Chains A and B, each alone.
Chain A
Amino acid sequence: MLKLISLELRKYRFSRHIGYAAMAGLAILLFLTLLGITDYGAEDYAFSTFAGSFMLIDTFVRATFMIFAGVLLSTMIALEYRNKTMGVLFTYPIKRRKLIAAKLVIIFVFTFGMILLTDVLMGSVLVVVDRFYPFITDSLTMEQARELLLEYTVSSLSAAAMALIPLLFGMRKHSVTTTMVSSILLVLIVCSGFNGPVVSIESIIAIHLALGAAGLCIAWLSMHRLETKDVN
């Protein structure tokens, strides 16, 4: 499996995606900084509390990297079907399930890793900046920070899992557009209205976990009976 993963990374020159991810991270940072500066003093200032600020960061980061995952799904699966290189891949003496699994592991690990890393980096930037130029009204205890790390981990895991939902369309329709549109729609649904009508934290977590489970289910289904299906 590790060999298949390394071949996939080589095939798509995956290292360049790390560069793109860094650019996306910088764009989020720039946007949130602008939001922090221009909105300062407003009644509903987004960075008024640590909890709110961390949630805002997480929402943006998740949205960005879930769409990023959609791009990867389109390139590594839908496009590979459309360009018919999947047919070449399936003439190799390797289980098809394993070939697809190698791709999905890369996308899952990359999405999870990038969300967690960016969340933690941005959170740290927020804490450091607040230390020198205090703008957040409440304070952050070590206990809260530990809890936050756990929350970020769970949130990154569920986001990486639910980012696989567009695979349902990628595998069936073999269409890049459908995969991308479903990825964007998913982000619009799960990453909107974080401070809108009051929904309890528990119910948000439940929804995220349920969607994450759905993503994993779809990933499993996409590999199910792959060996007996025709490749045209």
Chain B
Amino acid sequence: MTYIARTIGVTKTYGGTEVVSDVCMNIRQGEIYGFLGHNGAGKTTLMRMLTNLVKPTAGEIELFGEKLTPHSYEVLKRMGSVIDYPFFYDGLSAWDNLDLHCEYMGFPDKKVIGTMMEQVGLKDIGRNPVREFSLGMRQRLGIARALVTTPELLILDEPINGLDPAGIKELRDLLKRLSAEYRITLLVSSHILGEIEQIADTVGVIRGGRLIEEVSMERIRGQHNEYIELRPTDVRKAAYVMEHLLGLRNYKLVGEHTIRVYDPGMSPSELNASLVRHDVAIESIFKRAHSLEEYFMNLMKGDGGIA
């Protein structure tokens, strides 16, 4: 297994407060790593540490198999990033900003600038000063800047901020294409679960500076697939019947009127028939796929998830 980026027990302290605590993160080559957490959870600080802008108080960072030190410059050539907010020289045009970026990165092929501007839909306004750009346009230009030097690792901090729904879809397709066609490894942070869920291969969940979960989406989908949700007229009686007479133990009360049954091997019609046989009336019953959103929400809130 080749890891492009790893953090080993990384901690960052500001004025005695730990904003990132003992994070061990493993980003594999070619994957899209979704980094999930509320605002202020420590996502940006960790990303800043990966780009060497902020130095860890403790722990180690490995990029492309090498330990990151304050004097690691060569690895920066292999990375592209948009962290926090896409900052530019506002008085210069979008084109000039990308041109300067290529010069500083030591990237000679300027033809790519045109292609990149076209890909992010900014070709027609590329000669306008960046100060005239909206947040969405800046975001797209930021992604173009990060991509123009064809990096092996792309770090994007909340890239969908400011994008309209069409822009979000375009970005999602672009990121998937980058990963599938060019084998670029992506670290994408977001506080919007739906976005991460749709593109990520692996998800890392950070809460209060701690990485509380790092799991492949495939595994989560396997673990949290289906359940039966029912609304009986008498929840207590239904629970009693299920537990003592039907032998179902893996269920959960959701609110005051709903029960979710996670035991495999029983269909809604069988469960319905069994409950009715024991005089439990059912208002509704149906099979549902477990919402990943719910799973992550619980993790982020600190409820430990449903398993």
Residues of A within 8 A of B (CB): 3, 7, 10-11, 13, 83-85, 87-95, 227-228, 230-232
Interface residue stretch chosen among B85-93, B178-186, B246-254: B85-93
B100 and A11 form a contact (CB under 8 A): yes
CB neighbours (8 Å) of B55 from chain A are 228, 230
> What is the CA–CA distance of A92 and B89 in the complex, to the nearest angstrom?
15
7 pairs across A/B with beta carbons < 8 Å?
A11-B100, A13-B91, A89-B104, A91-B51, A91-B79, A93-B75, A227-B71
In the assembled complex, the CB of B203 is this many whole angstroms from the nearest CB of chain A, namely 25
The chain B residue with its CB closest to the CB of A99 is B104
**Does B87 lie within 8 Å of A92, measured CB to CB?**
no
Task: Collect the chain A residues with CB atoms within 8 Å of residue B54's CB.
Answer: 230-232
- Nearest CB on A from B256, distance (A): 47
Residues of B within 8 A of A (CB): 48, 51-55, 70-71, 73-77, 79, 81, 83-85, 87-92, 100, 103-106
Give the top 9 A-B pairs by smallest Cβ distance, nearest first: A93-B76, A93-B73, A92-B104, A84-B87, A227-B70, A231-B53, A230-B54, A93-B77, A228-B70
What's the minimum C-beta distance from A87 to chain B, rounded to whole angstroms?
6
Chain B residues closer than 8 Å to A85, beta-carbon distance: 87-89
In the bound complex, how far is the Cα of B89 from the Cα of A10, in angstroms?
A: 11
Which residues of A are found within 8 Å of B91, using beta-carbon distances?
A: 13
A93 touches B52 (CB 8 A): no
Q: Is the CB of A91 within 8 A of B76?
A: yes
Answer whether A84 and B85 are a contact pair too, CB < 8 Å, given A94-B73, A227-B71.
Answer: yes
Cβ of B89: which chain A residues have Cβ within 8 Å of it?
Answer: 11, 85
Residue ID in chain B nearest A10 by CB atoms: B100
Contact present for B100 and A7 (CB under 8 Å): yes
Known interface pairs A84-B84, A227-B71; A91-B52 also in contact (CB < 8 Å): yes
With CB as the reference atom, state the residue of chain A lying closest to B87: A84
The listed residue (A87, A92, A228) touching B83 by CB distance below 8 A is A87
A93 touches B100 (CB 8 A): no
Are B104's CB and A83's CB within 8 A? no
Q: Which residues of B contact A89 (CB under 8 A)?
A: 104
Cβ–Cβ contact B53 & A87, under 8 A: yes
Output the least CB separation between B144 and chain A (Å): 14
- A11-B100, A90-B53, A231-B53 known; A83-B87 Cβ under 8 A: yes
Chain A residue nearest to B82 in the complex (CB) = A88
For residue A80, which residue of chain B has the nearest CB?
A: B89
Separation of A90 and B91 alpha carbons in the complex (Å): 20
Closest B residue to A4 by CB, please name it: B104
A171 to chain B, nearest CB (A): 16
Q: Are A83 and B76 in contact (CB under 8 A)?
A: no
User: What separation, in Å, do the CA atoms of A91 and B53 have in the docked complex?
Assistant: 7
Give complex CA distance A87, B54 in Å. Answer: 10
CB-defined contacts of B81 to chain A, threshold 8 Å:
91
- Looking at the complex, which one of A11, A88, A92, A232 makes contact with B92 (CB distance below 8 Å)? A11
Chain B residues near A95: list those with CB within 8 A: 71, 73
Residue of B nearest to A85 (CB): B87
- Distance in Å: Cβ of B156 to nearest Cβ of chain A: 13
A73 CB to nearest chain B CB (Å): 17
A10 to B76, CA, bound (A): 23
Closest to B145 in A: A88
**Closest chain B residue to A86, Cβ basis:** B87
Please pick, from A84, A93, A232, the residue contacting B105 in the complex, using a CB distance under 8 A. Answer: A93
Other 18 A-B pairs with CB < 8 A, given A10-B100, A94-B104, A232-B48? A7-B100, A13-B91, A84-B85, A84-B87, A87-B84, A88-B87, A88-B88, A90-B52, A91-B52, A91-B76, A93-B74, A93-B75, A93-B77, A95-B71, A227-B71, A230-B53, A232-B53, A232-B54
What are the residues of chain A within 8 A of B51 when measuring CB–CB? 91
Q: Chain A residues near B92 (CB, 8 Å)?
A: 11
Give the one of A7, A10, A83, A87 with max B CB within 10 A.
A87
B84 lies within 8 A of A92 (CB): no
| B146 nearest in chain A by CB position | A91
State the CA gap A184–B105 with chains docked (Å): 37
* Docked complex Cα distance between A88 and B88 (Å): 8
CB A158 to nearest CB in B, in angstroms, measures 33
Closest to B106 in A: A93
* Residues of chain A with a CB closer than 8 A to B103's CB: 3, 7
With A and B bound together, what is the CA distance between A189 and B83 in angstroms? 43
Cβ–Cβ < 8 Å partners of B79 in chain A: 91
Determine how close the nearest CB of chain B comes to the CB of A145; give it in whole angstroms.
Answer: 43
In the bound complex, residues from chain B placing their C-beta under 8 Å from that of A228 are 55, 70
Known A-B contacts A83-B90, A84-B85, A87-B87; the reply to A92 vs B53 at CB < 8 A is no
